[in-house]
Structures are given as C-alpha cells and as structure tokens.
C-alpha cells in the first residue's frame, strides 16, 4: 500500500431503528481509498463509539473507510444489529464489509458473519472473547495496564460506559453475555463461516483479561490465522526512543495508529502464526 499525505477523515453519523432499540453508527471516510471493502468495528462489552473513533480515524488515514457502532446495553439482538449495519454499509458504499470485532465484539462479529454472510468479506478479530482464554476476574488488572496517566481518561470512560451498559441491560441478557464470553461459543460458528469470508485475528500478548496464548488454539480450530501485536517493532519503525509499555486488552484505545498499522498488514496478507 502506498503511503500518502495524512488528513483528518470526514466523519458522518447515522442511526438505525431496530424494534424499540436505536443503533448509532458513524462512518469515517477515507479520502484516498486503498481497499475494495469497508470496515465495521464491532465494540466490546462496554465500548461506545467515541472510544473506537481514534482507531477508525487511523484506519481511514491508511485508506480504509471504517464505521464504528454503539451497543445500547447487552441484548440477544447485538449480532443482528451488526448484520443490519453491515448490510446498510454494503448498500450505501457498494462494497463488501470486513467486520473488526474487539473483545466481546469478536463473538458478535463471528455470529453476524455466520448468520448473514452475503455482505461480509472478512472477520478480523482483536483479542476476541468466545475462543478461550477469558479470565473475568482479571478485569480490573486489565484496566491498570495503561502506558501512562494520559490514558486515565480512557479508563474512566470505560468504567462509565460499563455502568451504563449494566444499568440498561436485562439480567438474563447480562448472564448470557458472561456465559458467551467465558466459553468457547464462537469456535463452532467461526469454523462454519462461508468459504469467501477471510478469517484472521490480531492478538495482544500483554492482555490479562483474555490470554492470547490460551485463545490461539480456539482460533486455529475455527480456521483463523493470527498475528501477535508487536508494539516494540512499531515503536522502532516510527523512529521513536525504545521504551516498553504493555499493550493490554484495550490496545486499540492506547495505540490506535499502531493497531491500525497491524490491521492493515493483516488485510494486505502478511504472514501469520498458526497455533500448535
């Protein structure tokens, strides 16, 4: 992919009514389009669009138009929401959609691609739940894995979104969400994805909430290739002074440009690892 002068991507907000629920999504336009598909970021259990916007902007700067979407609390409809937004994107831009699912969003991206494959070109997972290696009791430890206090605001927003998420969710939906995240619920569906759907994952080795080494086996069983996120390599390539910081579970928030670079390398067909 050719490098080009960076710009601030254009952002356009949309909404879609699904029964009594309203799904909000924002499109980050790419001025210099490099890919024949658009991306849709499927958020984790507590994420709202604003937390994904820096990553989406970084992706748009690299030539891929990317949408972010918001879940309004836990619901059995979340995967359906992903499918409907993906369909809207495919019709609006006349291009297939690559789902980019982070954490619990990895489950919903997998299920949406399984149930509604026609508009989906690929599923790219960022440290996904549902493939093994989830340690729910390590949630607080994962929040403390930030590189510096400059990211404290991100974490406070995660906590706020988490409170809102649980407050607006039915108890049975929350229980189902916890079970989905902790078990291998995505492996079977992932293995059954249509042949035209590319399957890949970007893993964060420093994550305490979801252990990358533990979920590699589940990803391989579902036919996913995976790539370990190498923040050190990115820091060197940018010419910065080396200083090690853990990427942690929320790496797309901490290092949106680095994660965007790694995502683009996957889309461009970089070499992957295969779990033994």
**pLDDT, average across residues 41-62:** 85
Cβ distance 161 to 48 under 8 Å? Answer: yes
Candidates 158, 176, 164, 156; CA nearest to 73 is 164
Q: Which of 16-20, 52-56, 143-147 has the highest mean pLDDT?
A: 52-56
Q: Mean pLDDT across the chain, nearest whole number?
A: 81
Give the separation between CA 147 and CA 163, rounded to whole angstroms: 24
Sorted by where each starts, the structural domains of the chain and their CATH numbers stand as 11-267 (3.40.50.1820)
pLDDT tens digits, residue range 224-270?
999 998 777 666 666 666 565 667 788 888 889 999 999 999 999 87
Using only C-alpha atoms, the chain has a radius of gyration, in whole angstroms, of 17
Residues near 110 by beta carbon (within 8 Å), at least 6 away in sequence: 101, 123, 125, 128, 130, 186, 189, 190, 193, 222
Secondary structure class of 118 (helix, strand, coil): coil
Q: State pTM to two decimals.
A: 0.84
Least reliable range by pLDDT among 36-40, 126-130, 138-142, 200-204? 138-142
- Using pLDDT thresholds of 50, 70 and 90, give the confidence band for residue 98: very high
**What residue ranges in the chain does DSSP mark as E strands?**
11-18, 21-28, 38-42, 66-70, 97-102, 120-126, 198-203, 225-228
Are the beta carbons of 235 and 168 closer than 8 angstroms?
no
State how far the alpha carbon of 242 is from the alpha carbons of 16, 81, 144, 235, in Å: 45, 42, 21, 7
Contact 210, 128 (CB under 8 A): yes
Element (H, E) at 23: strand 21-28
pLDDT of residue 5: 42
Residues 115-154 pLDDT 10s: 999 999 999 999 999 998 887 665 555 555 555 555 566 6
212: closest CA among 226, 233, 232? 226
Reported confidence tier of residue 193, pLDDT bands at 50, 70, 90: very high
Residue 42 near residue 109, CB atoms below 8 Å: yes
């Amino acid at each position: 992919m050719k490098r080009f002068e960076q710009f601030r991507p254009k952002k356009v907000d949309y909404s879609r009514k699904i029964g009594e629920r309203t799904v909000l999504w924002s499109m980050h336009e790419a001025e210099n389009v490099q890919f024949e598909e658009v991306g849709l970021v499927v958020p984790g259990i507590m994420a709202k669009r604003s937390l994904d916007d820096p990553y989406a902007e970084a992706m748009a700067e690299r030539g891929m138009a990317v949408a972010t979407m918001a879940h309004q609390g836990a619901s059995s409809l979340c995967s359906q929401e992903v499918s409907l937004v993906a369909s809207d994107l495919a019709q609006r831009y006349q291009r297939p959609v690559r789902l980019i699912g982070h954490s619990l969003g990895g489950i919903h991206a997998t299920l949406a691609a399984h149930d509604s494959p026609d508009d989906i070109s690929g599923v790219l997972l960022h440290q996904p739940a549902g493939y093994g290696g989830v340690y729910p009791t390590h949630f607080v430890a994962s929040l403390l894995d930030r590189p510096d206090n400059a990211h404290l605001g991100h974490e406070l927003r995660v906590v706020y979104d988490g409170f809102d998420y649980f407050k607006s969710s039915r108890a049975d939906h929350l229980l189902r969400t916890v079970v989905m995240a902790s078990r291998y619920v995505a492996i079977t569906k992932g293995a059954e994805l249509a042949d035209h759907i590319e399957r890949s994952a970007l893993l964060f080795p420093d994550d305490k909430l979801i252990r990358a080494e533990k979920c590699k086996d589940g990803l391989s069983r579902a036919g996913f290739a995976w790539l370990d996120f190498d923040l050190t390599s990115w820091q060197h390539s940018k010419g910065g002074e080396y200083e090690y910081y853990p990427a942690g579970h929320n790496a797309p928030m901490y290092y949106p440009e680095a994660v965007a670079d790694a995502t683009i390398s996957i889309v461009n067909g970089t070499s992957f690892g295969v779990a033994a």
